[in-house]
Structure 1
Amino acid sequence: MTRSVVQIPARRAPVATPLAVALSFLIAGACAAGESTHVHGAPASANTADAVVTLDTLVVTDISPTLAMTFVANTKLPRQPVPASDGADYLKTVPGFGVIRSGGTNGDPVLRGMFGSRLNLLTDGGHMQGACPARMDNSLSYVSPETYDRLEVIKGPQTVLWGPGASAGTVRFERDIPFFDEPGMQFNGSLTAGSFGRNDEVVDAAFGNASAYARVTANRSESDDYEDGNGERVPSAWKKWNADVAMGWTPDADSLVEVSAGNGDGEARYAVRGMDGSQFDRTSYGLRAERRNFDGALDKVEAKLYYNDVDHVMDNYTLRDPDPTSSMPMPMASNVAQRTSGGRVALSWKTETWDLQAGVDARDSRHRKRSAMGRDAYRNVPWTTDARFDNVGVFGELGWNLTERQRLVGGLRLDRASAKDERLTTGSMMPRPNPTAGETRNETLPSALVRWEVQPVDSAIMWHVGLGHVQRMPDYWELFSPTMGPAGSANAFAGIEPERTTQLDVGMHYRAGRWDAWASLYAGRIQDYILFKYSKGMMGATTQAYNADANIRGGELGVEFRPDTNWKLGGTLAYAWGELDDEGPLPQTPPLEARVTASYDNKRWSLGALLRGVTAQDRINPGYGNVVGQDLDDSAGFAVFSLNGGYRFTDRVQLAAGIDNIFDRAYSEHLNLAGNSAFGYPADPVRINEPGRSAWLKLNVKF
């Protein structure tokens, strides 16, 4: 027997906020431990009797929002396409997201055409950053979604609570706290087998009593190279594993102290990069404390410390043989590492008319590197630190209930960010003295938002309109990866300005009877957008980073209709548009994408279908892009059809299966890696085809 993760306040908020919806989802999941139920978008309430409880969907083909701008998903449910190998792969299920592809795993997530640190990515409340200068190991490469309990996505600059720079949105992979009323155990495990040698194993087990608990999560994932729809092999194999343990003390239902530790590693072969990833070592530590339900207005006090260290090796000899005709004919390796540590202290107050969350967070990161020619020769080379970053921010977000059905939300954030250049030389092929060696940049960056939420009396529609402004410090990849900075500057570190985004977000959500429809639209102005220009010369490939102003707009639409208790039909539409001032389209903008789903579920077995259609993209800017990808040429449209099914042996044992790309279509995504030019090794631009027809089978067990 378990008790709920959080205690629900007895007062009801007139309009459901993103936080309230997320907490209600979390509460429902905890109350349903060991049962096959969960809550879909239930409002915060005095007890779970007010929530709409339904049976878990056996196979998820799309993630629907709890609010127009907020998505909360149970990451343990089977999903189609084939269960995700990393965090970016999972985000593809959320309308508006795309992935810059480089092979079978470790793609880079893109939301509404925005990339990199414009997305605030957190795992268990902490930031974890990759180390590769070309983002071979982006943050979500180290995330195994099924070892977490929840994914929360907030689109746009509509929160200031979770760190700096979130101009595109905030993504949080979170684990719940397994409180126990009496000695007991919780278990959730899965086995997955599929085409191209795919096999995954996941174990999530918790043990405890009313005073303490221990939780262990572990996974292993493996796949061979896949074949595209033409039957051609695409270098894309990977192996990964992760293991995390958390131990907590729960002296009462309102208090928690938890310590955690984790480790993981893996390898991945890439289709068009000059090197493969032969090591993805991760070490994580965490400490958190919470106390809630105080007397008076103070509702919660929480504190979090974290330490994340990634040690990544790229080479051209572990997963391939060096090509004597290439620009890297001899065995060579590059070892990079990024250590990120930080913390957060926040307090929450709540009354009948207002609620406030305020606090301070801090983050420190150090980037190191070493490299050498020869097999494993890098191990004998000393580390050198090339960059240090620090950020301290204070934040507050206030919600005010104007009337019974109207709510005003406002947020302010102020960050003090610094970056230090510790490179003595620059340039990989012909090193030269670094003109900014030892220099430190300091920036003071404000962010703010205001949002009006309305749910008219006796109306099934809830809508919001919000205006947000974010100023973002250039990240490691923008300051240290480019060959050159803006014209007239010594380098990118000296010349790149912070990015400033002002965006209007409008959304509506309609729920009535058999219908559920939503829309999330945006329009923004980006000043000093950080852009990359790619070129080739006598000395090889070069990249120039500079600032340009841009306009963006687009949105996502969705509808779901239930003809009867068993059937569900749905569809989503996502579109992003961007234009640089006087320089043409914003590069690396995904094309229009539509998804149509249909499913039948009679509580014992289910059948489902997914049709994904993507239009051609001719709004391109050849030679321009970001640190990972650049626009190549026009991309063709495509449509992919997939089927799935499932069977519940009991509420605790479920079997799911699927066939992706059932017609074996040969196609490639518009967002696609163009080669390894960020390292200085020229590569012919090439699009990577996606997997052809593939089947998978997944067994879930929980108790």
Structure 2
Amino acid sequence: MLRTSSLLSAVAVLSSSPVMAEHTLDNVVITAPQSDSVLTVTTDPKAPRQPVPAHDGADLLKNIPGFAVIRKGGTDGDPVFRGMAGSRLSILLDGDTVLGGCGNRMDPPTAYVFPQAYDSVTVLKGPQSVQHGPGSSAGTVLFERHKPDFSVAEIQGDASLLAASADRNDQMAHLLAGNQRGYLDLSGTRSDANNYRDGNGDEVHSAYTRWSGNAAIGWTPHTDSRIELSAGRSDGEARYADRAMDGALFDRSNAALMFEQQNISDSLASVKARIYRQYVDHVMDNFSLRSASGMKMVSNPDRETTGASLTGRWTPGLATDVRTGIDYQKNQHRIRNANNMMDMMQTPDADQLHRNEDMRFETQGAFVELDHKYSDGSSLHTGLRINRDEAEDLRANRTTSGDKDINLLHSMFARYEWQIFPDQRLYAGLGHSERAADYWERNKNPAAQSPMMTGSASTFDVRPERTTQLDTGLLFNRGPLTGSVSAFYALHQDYILIEQLPDVSAAASNARNIRAISYGTEAEATYQLSPHWNTQSSFAWVRGENDSDNTALGQIAPPQATFSLNYVETTWSAGALLRVVGDQNRVAPGTGNIVGQDIGRSPGFAVFSVNSGWQAGDNLRINAGIDNLFDRAYAEHISRSGADISGYETTTRVFEPGRTWWLQLQASL
């Protein structure tokens, strides 16, 4: 489908291949992987990249044009794509949905992603697919492990070590052993860092530790059949610069059973069934990772998500491919809180308390998606999905206590791709997506009353959001020049806007439906200057309008561009990267999404980085780089505001890291 292209070629571990090519450097991902398929970007999360290789899901996605990240500290930022965040952007791990528990998005789905544990990451832009669940108006991100291939070797493995500024140190190891009858797949990751310093030299409350372990055992009774049982566990802790509490526990466990059968008949190409369970146990407090001068507090939400799916791939003709499927998902959210208000000498212990279930969600869906290719290389793509979505409010003392909200949701798309010339492909697609409100949108408190008071206001019944979007673009490959340009225009009916209500109460926030539009463009190009020199550039811009209030749409990142130049020899490489971000003067303070709201205008900035790589042997590669070479002090426009934390500078926004050096070693069997 897509290749991972780059600007700077350096060293990359060939984890997807058991044997490394002798004395040959692979490409390094710098500004972004480049699209060579319509509305799709695929990248290798194990490949070296600049800025410093990613330690969580959002950190990896931020380098793809159109993405931005809401910074909160050193880890667990929230990804935003084309100005859309939260459940508008689906995050799937091997096809399974993972949902966080924190009511203030301390643990977004990408907080539970360890990129190097996966073989590929695919971004599907816009509502141009219905295979991966309801909603997903902005897009879908698939973190996936590939089916093992033992055609070359029966034992395969790779590992990496990374050291960087702020005492960061990462380790990853992956071992795959098996044959044509079965296999065992084991992987583990760990990442640890202390507080970083921004470009002003100020220390930012941002230290973290993360680890994960995954295991899968597979049985392949014959070439076309596979049964796999997989399980994983991860945990960590993180300090946050944007709030009064830190994350003391991010305990996630998951298990799945998958069955796959290929080549069933002339018309039925494959069938795949999967059941899974994801459980997240999250603890946040204001004393274990910082000094607490007042009352100590702890909050302990958890969330269990279970699901199942059955999909089939049909080939009614040589040029036609049809995918059908049904799926089911249920998730339950619970919470318990404790403090030491009654005894200031004691440390609160939530473990002794009973968890109260506050919301429950359930959805069943069915879809059909068709791809048809024409003799001239052009193609037609269509799809339809129907979901029954149910949410139940189990909270006490709310105006909506005991309510059930049931919605029938429709998603559909149609896209035509013209093969204008062998090296040019033009496309246009129209998609429609309907999304029911998520947990964070339903639990806002738009009044000054305490949740303990009878009849406290609630946003549980906010209407589903409906998005209709036009996507167009062009892919080209003309000799030394390759690239793509895309544009979109989206009409958001009943867009769910989140806003703070400072005139009522500092803790009050509201979720309400508005009419909004958003539109923008992304472009990327690579030019091969000579056999050893190449350059790449990218550009992304988006604009949002709140038509109901005649204001800008909140939390829209400013335009940004990247420019990169690199030189590649057979065993070493060197390169440079410039990222330029514009001003953002179109703001709507106090409004935005479930992650954050606009603070105010922000200035533009430019950041310059360099890297190099050396292949030290057939199976060993070394990468090094310096990000933000000139130690620029800057903050992303959509960054959260800095909190008042004892011993740390309070800033309008959480600043990005200053000059950061990193060194990475990668090896494979």
TM-score by length of 1: 0.88
Contact 1:179 1:250 in 2 (8 A): no
- The Cα of 1:183 is off from its aligned counterpart by 7.2
Structure 2 residue aligned with 1:455 = 419
Paired residue for 1:607? 574
What is the CA–CA distance in structure 1 between the aligned matches of 2:177 and 2:381, rounded to whole Å? 40
1:47-67 deviations in whole A, cap 9, x for unaligned?
xxxxxxx95214544211132
Residues 1:112 and 2:79 aligned together = no
Match of 1:335 in 2: 300
Choose from 418, 423, 443 the match for 1:480: 443
Deviation for aligned residue 1:181: 4.6
Counterpart residue number, 2:309? 344
| Equivalent position of 1:503 in the other structure | 469
Partner of 1:165: 135
* Residue 361 (structure 2) pairs with residue 389 (structure 1): yes
Letter in 2 for 1:440: K
Deviation at residue 530 of structure 1 after TM alignment? 0.5
| Aligned counterpart for 1:277 among listed residues 247, 261, 266 | 247
Q: Which moved more, 1:59-68 or 1:309-318?
A: 59-68
Counterpart residue number, 2:149: 179
Aligned counterpart in structure 2 of residue 516 of structure 1, from 474, 482, 491: 482
Structure 2 distance, partners of 1:59, 1:652, is: 20
Worse-superposed segment, 179-188 or 544-553: 179-188
1:85-143 deviation per Cα after TM superposition (whole angstroms, max 9, x unaligned): 21001000111000111011100000000010000110011000000001100001010
Within 5 Å, which residues of 2 pair with 1:143-222?
143-181=113-151, 184-222=154-192
3-state SS in 1 of match to 2:300: strand
The residue number in structure 1 matching 2:19 is: 34
Q: Which runs of 5+ in 2 are unaligned?
A: 5-13, 341-346, 449-454
Where has structure 1 moved over 6 Å in runs of 4 or more?
none
Segments of 5+ residues of structure 1 without an aligned counterpart are 1-19, 24-28, 38-53, 324-328, 425-432, 678-682
- Indicate the larger mover: 444-453 or 55-64: 55-64
Deviation at 1:650, TM superposition (A): 2.5
Residue 537 (structure 2) pairs with residue 552 (structure 1)? no
Q: Identify the residue that residue 390 of structure 2 maps to in structure 1.
A: 418
Of 565, 582, 588, 1:621 maps to 588
Q: Which has the higher contact order (CA 8 A, sep 6+)?
A: 2
Between the aligned residues of both structures, percent identity stands at 41
1:636 and 2:603 matched: yes
Question: How far apart, CA to CA, are the structure 2 residues paired with 1:382 and 1:393?
Answer: 33
Mapped pair 1:654 → 2:621: yes
2:404 maps to which residue?
Answer: 440
**Partner Cα separation in structure 1 for residue 546 and residue 44 of structure 2:** 38
Q: Structure 1 residues 674 and 495, CA, compared in 2 at 3 Å: closer, same or farther?
A: farther
Q: For residues 461-472 of structure 1, what are the structure 2 equivalents within 5 Å? A: 461-472=424-435
Quick one: structure 1 residues 684 and 165, their matched pair in 2 at CA, closer, same or farther if it must change by over 3 Å?
Answer: farther
Looking at structure 2, the residues matched to 685 and 387 of structure 1 have their Cα atoms a distance apart, in angstroms, of 35
Counterparts in 2 of 1:10-49, with a 5 A limit?
20-21=1-2, 32-36=17-21
Q: CA–CA distance in 2 between the matches of 1:295 and 1:528? A: 45
Q: CA distance change for structure 1 residues 541 and 449 in 2, over 3 Å: closer, same or farther? A: same
Q: Residue 692 of structure 1 aligns to which amino acid in structure 2? A: G
In the TM superposition, what whole-angstrom CA distance separates every residue of 1:182-238 from its partner, at most 9, and x where no partner exists? 872110110000111100000111111221100111011000000001100000000
Contact 2:15 2:158 in 1 (8 A): no
Distance 1:22 1:58, change over 3 A: closer
The 5 Å alignment of 1:38-117 reads: 56-58=26-28, 60-117=30-87
CA distance in 1, matches of 2:198, 2:445: 33
For the residue of structure 2 that corresponds to 1:356, the secondary structure is: strand
What amino acid does structure 1 have at the position aligned with 2:297? Answer: M
CA change 1:517–1:508 in 2 (3 A) is same
Q: What SS does the corresponding residue of 1:227 show, helix, strand or coil?
A: coil
The CA RMSD measured in Å over matched residues stands at 2.1
Q: How many residues align?
A: 641
Match of 2:544 among 578, 600, 605: 578
Corresponding residue of 1:124 = 94
Is residue 492–residue 546 contact of structure 1 (8 Å, CA) maintained in 2?
no
Q: Secondary structure in 1 aligned to 2:190?
A: strand
CA contact (8 A) 2:360 2:392 kept: yes
- Find the counterpart in structure 1 of residue 218 from structure 2: 248
- Matched residue SS, 1:33: coil
Say if 2:640 is the partner of 1:673.
yes
Letter in 1 for 2:526: E
SS at 1:89's partner residue?
helix
**Contact kept in structure 1, 2:537 and 2:564, CA below 8 Å:** yes
Change (3 A) 1:234 1:403: same
